[in-house]
Structure 1
Amino acid sequence: MKSSAADRLFSRPAAVASCVGFILIGMVQSLYGPVIPGLRHEFGLSPSAAALGLSLHFTGGVAGVLAFNAVHSRISNRALLAWSYGLMAAGAAGFALAPNWPLALAAAFLGGLGFGGIDYGLNQLFAVGFGDRSTAMLNVLNAHFGIGAVLGPAIVAWLGPDGYPYAFGACAVLAAVLVAAGSSGVRTRVSDAPPASAAAPTASRALGLSRVLVGFLVLYILNVAVEAGVGGWEPTHLETVGYTATVAASATSLYWLMMTAGRFLVVPITMRHAPERILAVCAAGMTVCLLLTLVKGVAPVAYAGVGLFIAPVFPTGLAWLNSALPQARRAGAWVIAASNVGGVAAPPLLGVGIEASGIHAVPWLLTVLSGASLLATLRLIRLTRRSAS
């Protein structure tokens, strides 16, 4: 069903500001890795200690998603976004100015809370805020995260790792501007009330709906595991099979760029095809591409193909979730939190498998995860059809 402009949650300027907000959170998340040499020099840290900044950021992200989900029914959409941007501004400024490492870690967690609020809030509101264009707009929104993720390392390359306070300071200023600009033009209502027929499902239907939610959690964990696994282990695998470090790094950058491009490219497709069909094609496509990474001559291109196919999964899955579980308006928070947990857990768990099997096993391990994601997608299609009947 089409929605009129009056029914939409976002004015056009607010939608643009939201895309800028996703550029912001993409930049902040992507800064922590490249600035590790500067952090080690400034605070005298070991590599593992310096990496705690990103870990605290992700921990704060999970906490932020769950916390803002818990209070969303009691505060307006504008308040949710304003508080989230405010926390991001405070966290980024605190990280830039922290005189010691414990305070820097506290600031990373604080900024992570804001990150989680922005990630949850905008994804949730875009999923319901644009009528039949919500799937397309979710892909556009999340594509801007990729733009930010590319800009962050570029800024560090320009400033140098020791210039990290300026990079985080710039993010703090942008977040402060968005406290007002990013929330004005957003309607204050929380969400539409669920249909009366959906308010009190039968016991058997409730069980079916809970299985659907679990299915989405599994799907998101598996997909983020593949996403993070490729991003973390692609360069090592390519170097192991004979590519130079420069080629391996460039191929990894191409993977992330294809993730950004894929979200823009899928927009017209979302206007003609159902989200579940798009996700099934994506899962099959990335599984085939991961199998092709076993062939040395095409491995870099195959990894780029994985980025292209996995790109629509996160935003398109949220649109599918919203249509499959309209009674559970906050279900999106759980899958977004699960995606953050998957991003933290997947690389080290894959590392355990790689230690046991060798670097050459990377494509096989990732293919197993992707194949499981394809099976989870097909299972979800059956579950959602059964729940809808």
Structure 2
Amino acid sequence: MVALLRRARHPRLALIALAFVAFVGLGMPDGLLGVGWPSLRADFAVPLDALGWLLAAGVVGYTTSSFLNGVLLARLGVGRMLALSCLLTGLALVGYTVAPQWWMVVALGVVAGLGAGAIDAGLNTYVAAYFGARLMQWLHASWGVGITIGPLLMTAGLALWQSWRVGYWVVGGFQLALAVGFFVTLSLWERPTPAFGEQKRLTDYQTSFGLTLRQPAVWLSITLFLLYVGAETALGVWAYTLLTEARRVEPALAGVVTGSYWLMFTIGRIAAGVVAVRVGSDRLVRGGLIGALLGTGLLIWNPAVFANVLAIALIGLAIAPIFPALMSGTAARVGDRFAANTIGMQMAATGAGMALIPAGMGVLASRMSLEIIPFALLVVYAALLGCYLLAVRPSKVILVRSSK
């Protein structure tokens, strides 16, 4: 397979395939934690809200590497950065399974975050510069494939071997295999190819971070990603615990329901890629947020067990196109001049949202009840819709000013 990719007559297609595989690998670890957390915390004898420490460690690494995205790409190149990112992530995931103490797992979370942040920001910048909205949706659909597989792997490990470690062994091994694959295909990433045509304008600017941070539209754009990823991660992390510990759903069914969230999420992104050009990013975002609010309302209502399945699947389907559409629309919101810097900052913000919002919900749940989580999710989605409406309103003015 590697040899075929290296000799490919169409390097553009080969790079797309590698990018998709990388995002499958990126999503798999994210899908493990929600299902594995009850068993993992029992093994290490830590409280429910200790999840916040692991998420915070991950965000430190993730935010650092994504914020330094431009520097890393310039010094390492895309191929080397992907290979090293997969290597770091794989070693950290395998390390979770052999760490004797909780603080060591938290420390390894920083390493895993460094790897995830570099691959996420690097590929998003690469695709935003060279490809269109359709491939951006499908790239993130690949992440959805990975995060759908994650809960199923963890559920199988718990059911068949009564161990959360099996899931991390499998996914860690997959990451290490990816690292080898990227190391031996470096020439595909480093060798220029005319298949891309000319680079788009957003990568031609060299605007300072200071000037970028003085733009209100940039801060709104950063906030969008913090809120969105926080909400997306929160339901993925807490759905299994909510269903099993608060609503007395059987563990096997709860694992399948959690998996259905990511499955519908993946289906939604595949479908969005088909209609992205015709429908437009704005409609995808608005429609997705309305669907998410409706699904969260059903989760709060909870008239029957089946309603949980329907609500979580609906939320997954509704939010699917939001992240790629927001990413593709970055230049429209902030202007070409500030887009490249903003993309890195947006990815750094996702790390903060990934840790702060789920961890905050965990603190609320430990002090009140797990049933507070759907209410908190509703608030976050409502805030996200409000911020989005503010972010898109002045976009025409910003574009005119930044194009001078």
TM-score between both structures, scaled by the size of structure 2 = 0.77
CA distance in 2, matches of 1:351, 1:39: 16
Distance 1:133 1:233, change over 3 A: closer
**Which amino acid is the alignment partner of residue 223 of structure 1?**
Y
Range moving further from structure 2, 60-69 or 187-196? 187-196
Structure 2 Cα separation of the partners of residues 184 and 143 of structure 1: 28
- Which residue number corresponds to residue 28 of structure 1? 29
Could you report, residue by residue, the CA deviation over 1:276-326 in whole angstroms, capped at 9, with x for unpaired residues?
221111112211222232332334312221111111112221111144432
* 2:316 paired residue among 280, 299, 307: 307
Hey, what's the Cα distance between the residues in 1 that align with 2:119 and 2:206?
A: 28
Shifted more, 238-247 versus 291-300: the winner is: 238-247
After superposition, residues 143-292 of structure 1 pair within 5 angstroms as: 143-150=144-151, 152-154=153-155, 156-157=157-158, 158=160, 160-163=163-166, 166-167=169-170, 169-181=172-184, 183-186=186-189, 192=199, 194=201, 210-235=215-240, 237-238=242-243, 244-246=249-251, 247-292=253-298
Q: Which amino acid aligns with 2:178?
A: A
**Corresponding residue of 2:45:** 46
Q: Residue in 2 aligned with 1:347?
A: 358
Aligned-pair CA distance for 1:387: 1.4
8 Å contact from structure 1 (residues 27, 148) kept in 2: yes
User: What does 1:19-168 correspond to in 2, within 5 Å?
Assistant: 19-32=20-33, 45-48=44-47, 51=51, 55-92=56-93, 94-95=95-96, 105-131=106-132, 133-150=134-151, 152-154=153-155, 156-157=157-158, 158=160, 160-163=163-166, 166-167=169-170
Tell me the equivalent position of 2:301: 295
Is the Cα contact below 8 Å between 1:25 and 1:148 reproduced in 2? no
Deviations 1:106-141 (A, max 9, x none): 444323312211111112212222246443343434
Q: Which residue, out of 368, 382, 389, partners 1:378?
A: 389
How far 1:233 sits from its partner (Å)? Answer: 4.0
Q: Please give the per-residue CA displacement for 1:67-121, whole angstroms capped at 9, x wherever unaligned.
A: 3343334443233323323333443455556677666554443233122111111
The AA in structure 2 aligned to 1:373 is L
Cα separation, 1, equivalents of 2:176 and 2:185: 13
In structure 2, the CA distance between the partners of 1:50 and 1:200, relative to structure 1 (3 Å rule), is: closer
Q: Point out the more displaced range, 252-261 or 294-303.
A: 294-303
Indicate the RMSD between aligned Cα atoms, in angstroms.
Answer: 3.9
Equivalent residue number for residue 5 of structure 1: none
Q: Do residues 369 (structure 1) and 368 (structure 2) align?
A: no
Contact 1:120–1:332 (8 Å) recurs in 2: yes
Aligned length, in residue pairs: 376
1:6 corresponds to which residue? none
Say if 1:21 and 1:139 are closer, same or farther in 2 by CA, change over 3 A. Answer: closer
Is the 8 Å Cα contact of residues 55 and 359 (structure 2) preserved in structure 1? no
TM-score (norm 1): 0.80
Structure-2 separation of matches of 1:63 and 1:163: 29
What amino acid is aligned across from residue 174 of structure 2 in structure 1?
A: C
- Sort the Cα spacing of 1:88 and 1:179 in 2 relative to 1 into closer, same or farther, 3 A: farther
Q: Distance in 1 between matches of 2:41 and 2:140?
A: 36
Look up the equivalent residue of 1:81 and give its one-letter code.
L
10-19 or 269-278, larger mean C-alpha shift: 10-19
CA distance change for structure 1 residues 46 and 183 in 2, over 3 Å: closer, same or farther? farther
C-alpha distance in 1, partners of 2:108/2:204?
45
| Distance in 1 separating the partners of 2:353 and 2:143 | 18
TM-fit CA distance, 1:257: 1.9
Q: State the alpha-carbon separation in 2 of the partners of residues 363 and 257 from structure 1.
A: 20
Q: CA deviation at 1:155?
A: 5.8
Contact preservation (8 Å) 1:14, 1:184: no
- Which residue pairs with 1:336 in the alignment? 347
Aligned sequence identity (%): 22
**1:248 Cα deviation from its structure 2 partner:** 4.4
Contact 1:62/1:340 (8 A) holds in 2? yes
CA offsets 1:198-237 (integer angstroms, 9 cap, x no match): 7789x9xx78982221111111122223223323444555
SS of the residue corresponding to residue 186 of structure 1 reads: helix
Equivalent AA in structure 2 for residue 314 of structure 1: F
Given residue 220 of structure 2, which amino acid in structure 1 is its aligned partner?
A: G
Q: Is the 8 A contact 1:322 1:332 kept in 2?
A: no
Provide the rounded CA distance (Å) in 2 between the counterparts of 1:96 and 1:356: 30
Cα displacement (A) at 1:344: 0.9
User: What is the CA–CA distance in structure 1 between the aligned matches of 2:86 and 2:19, rounded to whole Å?
Assistant: 11
Which amino acid counterpart does residue 337 of structure 1 have in structure 2?
A
Structure 1 stretch displaced more, 160-169 or 314-323: 160-169
